[in-house]
Amino acid sequence: MPSRKLFTVRYSAGLKHAIKTAIAAVSCVYLARWLKIPEAYWAVITAIIVLQSNIGATLNASWTRLIGTAIGAVTGGVFVEFVGTGALAFGLALVLVVMICDFSGLTDSYRLAGVTLAIVMLINRLGPTWIVAGERFLQVALGIIVGVIVSIAIWPSRARESLRAGLADALTGMGVLFQSVVQSIHGGSAAEIETQRATVKDILRKGLDLRVQAAHELSATVDQASITLLMDLADRVMEAIEALEISARGSFEGTFHLHFKEETEQLEREISAGLKLLAQSTRNWQFDAAWPDFVPIILKLEDHVASVRASGSSAKYPLEEVLCFYTFLFSLKNLARELQLAHAATNRITKSTPSV
């Protein structure tokens, strides 16, 4: 059933995007004819290119294409007017266009600027060069306007919504990964750990792109700092889980760990509960749920460690076994503290912050 639901959601989104793309393309054809803008196919091509999976990505692609077209059109017009249209002149203009984009921090725009420059300088047309450059800019502008309107008006999808859902999925995956680590150290199979780790890391990587796209969205309903805060927290929690998994290798060989069985299992249960609550809170954008209190459990565990050391019981076990297990305890406590810090940090996200 879950796989069927995932299949339905995926292809439903694909169908919606296909329909939106078709609407944008056809609208460009009719509008270009109505406005008497020549070569309407450039507007159609632009609309198809800029129309992305969410509003933020569409706006980002639109800005990139518009500024690139403007740089290429203006540079081409200047060179045709004052330098000429020869191959060397075009090469010099292309170098200048790329350098302008590079120095302006517009590295994503230089390809589009170069294409526009080639159209203005290399394609022979009747009429003044500035008219050709202006028409090219209008064609692109029309495609961008139509693409943005369609993205916002028809089945709008916001990068912030996808980012929040992705973060919730990543945190849920971390909970599953943590459970797999716990099961592996208590005799269970560790076969799924690598797959689960890769899945979470892939979601977090996609979140970086979504954060960039979200920054371009017009809506200011969500504090961008809150999103960044949650992404940083998720990265720290993931690093703590990975450190725990590494420290757990060999930590449960022998019987020394049985001295701390009650405390470690209690802390493991509370960590699982904390990961689940953090995922749910992120998905629902509500951070006021009752939170596990790790402090008393950690203090109890540390008191027990001190008691075992004082009694000299650890001397009965191989030093490597004792050190390995204490390393695991340190990593487990570190993960609990990271979750405690995450809870304290999410208190900054007020109830008045609207859902993304």
Residues 36-64 have pLDDT tens digits of 888 888 888 888 888 887 777 777 778 88
203 versus 290: which is more confidently predicted? 203
Residue 112 and residue 69: Cα distance in Å, rounded? 6
Q: For position 7, what pLDDT does the model report?
A: 46
Q: Is residue 208 part of a domain?
A: yes
What range defines the domain where residue 171 resides?
159-346
Structure tokens at 318: 């191989």
Instruction: Please state, rounded to an integer, the average pLDDT across all residues of the chain.
Output: 82
Structure tokens at 355: 């859902």
Q: Where among 153, 180, 210 does a domain terminate?
A: 153
Question: Does residue 352 carry a pLDDT above 70?
Answer: no
Packing angle between helix 159-185 and helix 55-82, nearest 10 degrees? 120
Q: Are residues 28 and 71 in the same domain?
A: yes
Q: Are residues 144 and 174 in the same domain?
A: no
Which letter does DSSP use for residue 217 in this model?
A: -
Q: Are residues 114 and 190 in the same domain?
A: no
**Burial label, 34 (beta-carbon count in 10 A; 0-12, 13-18, 19+):** exposed
Task: Determine which of 53-62, 151-160, 230-239, 330-339 has the lowest per-residue pLDDT on average.
Answer: 53-62
Q: What is the DSSP string of 269-322?
A: HHHHHHHHHHHHHHHHT---S----HHHHHHHHHHHHHHHHHHTGGGGS-HHHH
Q: Are residues 123 and 181 in the same domain?
A: no
Q: Where among 124, 153, 182 does a domain terminate?
A: 153
Q: Are residues 215 and 248 in the same domain?
A: yes
Average pLDDT over residues 311-337: 90
Q: Where among 104, 133, 153 does a domain terminate?
A: 153
Question: Does residue 66 carry a pLDDT above 80?
Answer: yes
Q: What is the CATH number for 165?
A: 1.20.58
Q: Are residues 31 and 89 in the same domain?
A: yes
**pLDDT digit string (tens) for 174-186?**
999 999 888 888 7
Q: Are residues 33 and 171 in the same domain?
A: no
Residue 308 and residue 304: Cα distance in Å, rounded? 6
CB of 172 closer than 8 Å to CB of 124? no
The tally of domains found in the chain comes to: 2
Q: Are residues 106 and 206 in the same domain?
A: no
Q: Is residue 134 part of a domain?
A: yes
Question: Does residue 342 carry a pLDDT above 70?
Answer: yes
Work out the pLDDT band at 219, boundaries 50, 70, 90: low
Q: For position 288, what pLDDT does the model report?
A: 76
Q: Is this prediction's pTM over 0.85?
A: no
Q: Are residues 259 and 303 in the same domain?
A: yes
Q: Are residues 115 and 194 in the same domain?
A: no
Q: Is residue 91 part of a domain?
A: yes
287 versus 103: which is more confidently predicted? 103
Phi, psi angle pair for 10, to nearest 5°: -60, -50
Q: Is residue 352 part of a domain?
A: no
Question: Does residue 1 carry a pLDDT above 50?
Answer: no
**Residue at 145: amino acid letter:** I
Q: Are residues 131 and 181 in the same domain?
A: no
**Residue at 213: amino acid letter:** Q
Of all residues in the chain, what percent carry a pLDDT higher than 90?
A: 19
Task: Determine which of 22-31, 217-226, 337-346 has the lowest per-residue pLDDT on average.
Answer: 217-226
Q: Is residue 97 part of a domain?
A: yes
Residue 107 and residue 129: Cα distance in Å, rounded? 26
Q: For position 164, what pLDDT does the model report?
A: 84
Question: Does residue 257 carry a pLDDT above 60?
Answer: yes
Average pLDDT over residues 297-302: 89
Question: Does residue 153 carry a pLDDT above 80?
Answer: yes
Residue 294 and residue 336: Cα distance in Å, rounded? 6
Q: Are residues 45 and 61 in the same domain?
A: yes
Of all residues in the chain, what percent carry a pLDDT higher than 70?
A: 89
Degrees to nearest 5, angle at CA 52 with 50 and 55: 100
Q: Show Cβ contacts of residue 355 under 8 Å, excluding neighbours closer than 6 positions.
A: 222, 284, 285
Q: For position 190, what pLDDT does the model report?
A: 62
Degrees to nearest 5, angle at CA 163 with 160 and 167: 140
Q: Is residue 226 part of a domain?
A: yes
Q: Is residue 355 part of a domain?
A: no
CB of 314 closer than 8 Å to CB of 258? no
Q: Is residue 354 part of a domain?
A: no
